[in-house]
Amino acid sequence: MEDAKNSIFALKTSAGQERNVARLLAMKADKPGVDIKSIVVPESLKGYIIVESATNLDMKNPDMKVRHLRGIVGANKDGTIDPSSQITLEEVKKFLKPQPIISSIQKGSIVELVSGPFKGEKSKVVRLDESREEVVLELIEAAVPIPVTVKADQIRIIKKEDD
């Protein structure tokens, strides 16, 4: 947790390399000049990781040279960090609690099944059961409309229904 001495920073990474950068930084966390206390890799924030450090991070430090690490969000061109670029703990908390998958699905959306016997089939969302995290779908390309009930994590949204 954040205390009076620690600061939280957002670091830019190559998209898709967030976990690799976090692992490499974790190996260098206790070296002088790095002093990283914690690292968060939010799934919903592509291309960024969140780091808590007791000292200001210095991208010129050779220990901070990590492949796919692009820089610190809000850093000046000379490498110094603007105090206003630091992140508060309240801003980080929204990434710590994962959102249920079903909350992003709407009735009428076009989805693709990613597993099961109808894998790869496109379908339309007919009904949502949020308590059981199930979705009732109607296969689009079937000759006869067949209602299929699947778990929300077995589908991928292709097109959301416009309200």
The 10s digit of each residue's pLDDT in 7-36 is 888 888 898 889 998 998 888 877 776 778
CATH number at residue 121: 2.30.30.30
- pLDDT, greater one: 86 or 12: 12
Phi, psi of 135 (to 5 degrees): -130, 135
Q: Do 83 and 59 touch, CB atoms closer than 8 A?
A: no
Same domain for 113 and 40:
no
Phi, psi of 24 (to 5 degrees): -65, -40
**Which of these, 124, 92, 128, 87, lies nearest to 109 by C-alpha position?**
124
Q: How many domains does the structure of the chain reveal?
A: 2
What is the C-alpha to C-alpha distance for residues 8 and 37, in angstroms, rounded to an integer?
10
The position carrying tokens 């990434």 is 95
User: Strand, coil or helix: what is 49?
Assistant: strand
Q: Which of 96, 112, 137 is at the close of a domain?
A: 96
Q: What share of the chain has pLDDT > 90, as a percent?
A: 13
**First and final C-alpha spacing in the chain:** 40
Domain contains 1: no
- Within 13 Å, how many C-alpha atoms sit on residue 158's CB side? 12
Interstrand relation of 134-139 and 122-129 (parallel, antiparallel or unpaired):
antiparallel
What mean pLDDT value characterizes the chain?
Answer: 81
Secondary structure element (H or E) that encloses residue 148, with its range = strand 147-151
Same domain for 48 and 116:
no
